[in-house]
Amino acid sequence: MPKYKIMFSKTGMARFISHLDLLRIFERAFRRADLPMAFSQGFNPHPKMSIAAPLAVGIEGKQELLEIELTGKMEENEITRRLNSSLPAGVEVLGVKQAQGTKPLMAMVKRAVYSFECMPGKEIKQQQVEQAVSSLLNEDYIIVKRSVKGRVKEVDIRPGILSLEGKLTNGEIIIKAEVKSGSEGNVRPEEIKAELEKAGIPLGAGCKIYRLGLYGDEKGKRIDLW
């Protein structure tokens, strides 16, 4: 049975849709669009569909990835057209491709790129932004606390920060970060924001955070999953 990968965006008010609700929205959209989903076997069959990496509530996704198996082959443009006519505002299919290989898309995600757009709580200069970013990158380790299954544990996220840059544009702070993502390591955008604030950048509470894309990794190099 053919497998397809779907690139979509989740923007505007749709950024408040949770991961599980987003899966339900896509399942309903596939049903309304009369697309032949393949289902798992067993007592509780479910669509053979997965989103490559969960996106935290409140963060916009510019190029998110979903994988689904259908019972029959279809034209990619037709899948795109049908889905977009069935999806709610803020969720849009940007493209569809037939997937190659057998490895699940979610197992291939190793990196994520985020953008932060923040109006600082006070006046700041470009030099201060650069110094804070440089200070963070020069750290040997950055320990954060995470709550996992009711227990708090300490995690060193420094190895997971692959690149970090910042600039000041018309009074707005723009931060771009490439971090590890997936089962082999994961750095959360809210952790990056908190550490930058500790380093001296007053990002403020009104930051807009975007995930620009998801990527694989091969021998330390970024791999395009699309």
Return the pLDDT at 123: 85
Q: Mean pLDDT across the chain, nearest whole number?
A: 95
* Residue 69: its H or E element: strand 60-69
**CATH 2.40.50.140 at 109-224, yes or no:** no
Phi, psi values for residue 83, rounded to 5°: -65, -45
Do the domains spanning 3-105 and 109-224 agree at the CATH topology level?
A: yes
Tell me how far apart the alpha carbons of residues 91 and 78 are, in angstroms, rounded to a whole number: 17
Dist CA 95 CA 89 (whole Å): 17
Domain locations in the chain as residue ranges: 3-105, 109-224
Structure confidence at residue 33 (pLDDT):
97
Per-residue pLDDT averaged across 66-80, rounded? Answer: 97
**What is the per-residue pLDDT across 2-49, written as a single tens digit (0 to 9) for each?**
999 999 999 999 999 999 999 999 999 999 999 999 999 888 899 999
Q: Residue 203: what pLDDT?
A: 87
pLDDT single digits (tens) 140-197 = 999 999 988 889 999 999 999 999 999 999 889 999 999 999 888 899 999 999 999 9
Q: pTM here?
A: 0.94
Each residue's pLDDT tens digit, 190-215: 999 999 999 988 887 789 999 999 99
As a whole number, mean pLDDT of residues 72-84 equals 97
Exposure on the CB side of residue 29, measured as CA atoms within 13 A: 22
CATH class for the region spanning 3-105:
alpha beta
**Is there a contact between 216 and 108 (Cβ–Cβ < 8 Å)?**
yes
Give dist(CA 100, CA 96) in Å, integer: 13
Q: Whole-angstrom Cα distance, residue 11 to residue 62?
A: 7
**CA nearest 200: which of 114, 136, 119?**
136
Position 42 scores a pLDDT of 85
Q: Name the band, by pLDDT with cuts 50, 70 and 90, for residue 122.
A: confident
